[in-house]
Amino acid sequence: MKTKTTVFYDDNDVQSFSSVKNYLFETFAEEEGWVSEDEIPDCVVFHEMEEQQRRDWDNFRADLEYLLEKDCYLLTGTCGRWDGPSRGGKFIRSIDDLLDCIRHLDFVKFYDENGHFYISGHHHDGSDSYEMKRLTKKGYEFADRYYFAKDRHLHRTIMNNNFYSALPRVAERLYGVV
């Protein structure tokens, strides 16, 4: 089976300096009185790169917030630490729950791979890698029976059982990408 990957957001993948400079020249040269791209100050280019990245994040965050309002999810994975990777999981019911798990990351990437939703990132102690699945009705009831505990056995049972969790298919659900 061919792997289908859709990257939603990757703050480590910014447009090149030269392509942003070209965009600024084509869009604002007449207004700013620029005769060549060389006249565009570097600080203006860097500001535009930051602004484009912020807009990309704001757009994806709004889409993700919409998705997370509809269902309960389970995020599991590893967090790189100074003393070695640590496994864990958390039930996600809102955008704030998710952002609490990744707030420490310096760089983050959200992507869908054949319906699986992954988050990877890097920080000063190492790399993090997570997968998020949507709880089914039975999965929600099962987790509720255990008070949505922070328990690896509970998380593993839910993540590995199709009766309790399902692929979130984020690319398909948000953007119609199959």
* DSSP assignment of 57-108: HHHHHHHHHHHHHHS-EEEEEEE--TTS-EEEEEEE-SHHHHHHHHTT-SEE
Given a cut of 80, is residue 91 above it in pLDDT? yes
Region label for 75, one of left (φ > 0), alpha (ψ between -120 and 50) or beta (otherwise): beta
Nearest to 8 by CA among 87, 65, 92: 65
Q: Enter the tokens of residue 164.
A: 């309790």
Query: Model's pTM, two decimal places?
Result: 0.90
Given a cut of 80, is residue 14 above it in pLDDT? no
> For helices 137-145 and 152-159, what crossing angle results, to 10°?
170
Confidence at residue 2, expressed as pLDDT on a 0 to 100 scale: 87
Q: What is the rounded distance in angstroms from the CA atom of residue 32 to the CA atom of residue 40?
A: 9
Domain C-terminal end among 26, 44, 63: 63
Given a cut of 80, is residue 178 above it in pLDDT? no
| Same domain (yes/no): 32, 79 | no
Domain C-terminal end among 63, 79, 100: 63
Given a cut of 90, is residue 169 above it in pLDDT? yes
Domain with 31 in it: 13-63
| Same domain (yes/no): 34, 97 | no
Residue showing tokens 């009831």 = 141
| Same domain (yes/no): 90, 152 | yes
Provide the pLDDT confidence category of residue 12 given band limits of 50, 70 and 90.
confident
| Same domain (yes/no): 56, 94 | no
Confidence at residue 61, expressed as pLDDT on a 0 to 100 scale: 97
| Same domain (yes/no): 169, 96 | yes
Radius of gyration (Cα) for the chain, nearest Å?
A: 20
Given a cut of 90, is residue 177 above it in pLDDT? no
